[in-house]
Amino acid sequence: MIVLPGRTYFEMLISNDQHFSVSCSYSDYINTLRFEGSDENTAFLAYQRKWRELNDEMGTLAGRAEANRSNRDSLTVINNARMAQERVMKEYLSNVIAANQSNMLGTFVRTILPVEIPPFEVPEGARNPDSLRWIFNYTYNKNHFFDNIDLNSERLIRTPILHAKLKTFFENIVIQVPDSVIKEIDILIAKCQNNNRVFQFVTAFIFNHYRTSDIMGHDAIIVKLADDVYLTDKADWVTQEFKNDLRRQVELIRPNLIGNIAPDLVMNSHRNVFVSLHDIEKEFTILYFWEPDCGHCKEATPKLKAYYEKAKNEVEIFAVCTISDREKWLKYIQDNQITWINGWDPQRLSRFDSLYNVQSTPLVYILDRDKKIIAKKISVGNIDPFIESYKRHNR
């Protein structure tokens, strides 16, 4: 990219032959831009000009369609023209690819081609033909999303192309359920393992993308990438210090992944009777880590108490206070008439802090009857709707 004054710029391709010249007039650089000694950039320039022209024509048709939304006959004519223009654009891209199969221009233009989804014949008598057609189109597009990307060409990592494709795929295409994401990661990484630099680029993108995710359960993706890549000899681009830090993080996450059986906690209680998390026999158990003086806890605990009063026939709360001030803990329980199970382990002999990665309070886990973790790091206000939704979809 060559940046000119006034925030204007033009792009060029840098391939094996890097000895060429470029010239243009600043006042009209688009029309005066010339390359000498680079057939690839001359073709790239011709492509850019033609593609801009085709897009302008499509933009004009889109404007006409918007202006004629209430005129059905005109809209039909315009939409037919748009489909014809789309065919012209696809044919042009195919011709550019065919003429530049051995260079970067062909590789670049191929990435623009949309996935061609074949017609889907809905089985006769199907009850939900539109849903079936949508599922087929979605699945085909997902499975073929990278068909026009050469995942063994490291040239793409020096352009915005591969990053943009990965971002679109993992934000807009893949369903954000950990198992679904992990399946697609396995497929994608297998496709780029023959080129170490592309493998590094793709893996690093996925790792950084999900490391900052706020979606519940996505920590399983980080554990998977750590186990399969970063904590093995495959990740030769990271330091030992990074690996050591990641290993510590993963070991705090691993025991409390959604779907795991929650580690049992056995500790004393405010009644001076030892209690066990796994002894609870309610349909749902809320594991609640809290402190009496925590600002957020002061808001969350009363809300949790109100919910407990109406749901305690099927919900039990196992609350673990994370401070060592017994008098303050007991006073809060007595003053607020807290009747759920109140665990007390100031010496942390149960290892609740490491088993459940307790780094701040309040912290909520939801367990089913079998003590399987079904939710974590959920706000108190979302406990009720989550459990109601879970009951609808899992019974």
Q: How confident is the model at residue 112, as a pLDDT?
A: 85
H-state helical runs in the chain: 29-32, 39-67, 72-99, 104-110, 129-143, 161-168, 178-191, 196-211, 219-225, 240-253, 295-311, 326-335, 352-355, 383-394
Is residue 55 a contact partner of residue 88, using CB atoms and an 8 Å limit? no
Q: Apex CA 137: angle with CA 131 and CA 142, to 5°?
A: 125
The H or E element that residue 290 is part of is: strand 284-290
The H or E element that residue 376 is part of is: strand 373-376
Mean pLDDT of 281-305: 96
pLDDT band, residue 42 (cuts 50/70/90): confident
Considering the chain, what is the average pLDDT of its residues?
92
The yes-or-no verdict on residue 38 having pLDDT over 90 is: no
Bigger pLDDT: 205 vs 153? 205
Q: Which residues contact 328 (CB under 8 A, 6 or more apart)?
A: 292, 293
The per-residue pLDDT for range 54-96, each reduced to its tens digit, is: 999 999 999 999 998 888 889 999 999 999 999 999 999 999 9
* Radius of gyration, alpha carbons of the chain: 29
Q: Does the 266-394 domain belong in CATH 3.30.300.130?
A: no
Q: How confident is the model at residue 21, as a pLDDT?
A: 82
**CA–CA gap between residue 266 and residue 237 (Å, rounded):** 43
Bigger pLDDT: 4 vs 289? 289
pLDDT band, residue 17 (cuts 50/70/90): low
Q: How confident is the model at residue 1, as a pLDDT?
A: 56
Which one, of 381, 334, 345, lies nearest residue 362 by Cα? 381
Place of tokens 């949508």: 134
Ordered DSSP codes for 156-205: GGGSSHHHHHHHHIIIIIS-S-HHHHHHHHHHHHHHTTTSHHHHHHHHHH
Is residue 360 a contact partner of residue 289, using CB atoms and an 8 Å limit? no
Domain-by-domain residue ranges, the chain? 2-110, 130-256, 266-394
The per-residue pLDDT for range 198-209, each reduced to its tens digit, is: 999 999 999 999
Q: How confident is the model at residue 394, as a pLDDT?
A: 87
Which one, of 113, 192, 189, lies nearest residue 151 by Cα? 192
The per-residue pLDDT for range 177-189, each reduced to its tens digit, is: 999 999 999 999 9
Q: How confident is the model at residue 16, as a pLDDT?
A: 66
Q: Apex CA 257: angle with CA 254 and CA 258, to 5°?
A: 170
Mean pLDDT of 232-250: 96
Give helix 196-211 / helix 161-168 axis angle, nearest 10°. 40
Q: How confident is the model at residue 3, as a pLDDT?
A: 60
CA 294 to chain centre: 31
Q: Apex CA 379: angle with CA 302 and CA 346, to 5°?
A: 70
DSSP-derived secondary structure letter, 226: I
Q: How do beta strands 275-276 and 363-367 pair?
A: unpaired
pLDDT band, residue 9 (cuts 50/70/90): low
The answer, yes or no, to whether the previous bond of 385 is cis (omega within 30 of 0) is no
The per-residue pLDDT for range 346-394, each reduced to its tens digit, is: 999 999 999 999 999 999 999 999 999 999 999 999 999 999 999 999 8
Bigger pLDDT: 165 vs 18? 165
pLDDT band, residue 158 (cuts 50/70/90): confident
**CA–CA gap between residue 341 and residue 329 (Å, rounded):** 13
Tokens (6 digits) for 233: 């000899």
Q: How confident is the model at residue 120, as a pLDDT?
A: 87
CB hemisphere CA count around 34 (13 angstroms): 5
**CA–CA gap between residue 377 and residue 51 (Å, rounded):** 48
The yes-or-no verdict on residue 150 having pLDDT over 70 is: yes
The yes-or-no verdict on residue 51 having pLDDT over 70 is: yes
The yes-or-no verdict on residue 13 having pLDDT over 80 is: no
The yes-or-no verdict on residue 4 having pLDDT over 60 is: no
Is residue 292 a contact partner of residue 316, using CB atoms and an 8 Å limit? no
From residue 374, alpha-carbon distances to 102, 261, 300 in Å are 51, 9, 20
Q: How confident is the model at residue 11, as a pLDDT?
A: 74
Residues of the chain above pLDDT 70, percent:
97
